[in-house]
Copies of this chain bind each other. A is one copy, B any other.
């Protein structure tokens, strides 16, 4: 497959493919001469993946790159893998006490309070309070339990036998299932409103 064909097959414009090549998101094709390269099915798949992560999951290209790198060269431990997808740099000096207290009540105290996921939680809680929006603690706890069961379902689906497949599952799942969850929640809002308020 040459670049034009790849473009037609994927629906991605040639200049954009060239851009992705430059950015290292897409591996270069096999050069057959100075001005000719050959692309394969894997490039087509990869393009679909890039578009799904960027457009679908709304990840910035820099994050897409780290996700793809994690898929290509999976870190040894699953936790490292998770970190590679979710880690977002930011201020480290932030009051995590509310987050930690919540984790305590959820019985998740095996999680390192200094991990980036706890940081993300602390940040999200702070944003709420800064907006002058409060959720009752028992509601928050219930939300935590619901999301815990979501996480359990997802982790249960990880194929442990094949490390490469596991990496792919964790990385893509984390990024791509998120929007599905939020959409399900939205539909759930509509359903619950209809139930509570009547048509």
Establish whether residues A127 and B179, one from each chain, have CB atoms under 8 Å apart when the complex forms.
yes
Chain B residues with Cβ below 8 Å from A191 are 108, 110-111, 148, 151
The A contact surface, by secondary structure, is helix
Partner of A143, one of B45, B103, B150: B150
Q: With the chains together, A179 CA to B55 CA distance in Å?
A: 19
| A124 part of interface (Cβ distance < 8 Å) | yes
Most chain B beta carbons < 10 A, residue from A126, A152, A184: A184
| Contact-residue size bin, chain A (C-beta under 8 Å from the other chain) | 35 or more
Of residues 154 through 192 on chain A, the ones whose CB sits less than 8 Å from some CB of chain B are: 154-158, 160, 169, 172-174, 176-192
Establish whether residues B111 and A56, one from each chain, have CB atoms under 8 Å apart when the complex forms.
no
Q: List 20 A-B contacts (CB under 8 A).
A: A48-B131, A52-B127, A56-B124, A56-B128, A79-B193, A108-B187, A111-B194, A120-B186, A121-B186, A125-B180, A139-B154, A144-B184, A147-B150, A148-B184, A151-B192, A152-B188, A155-B192, A178-B182, A181-B181, A182-B182
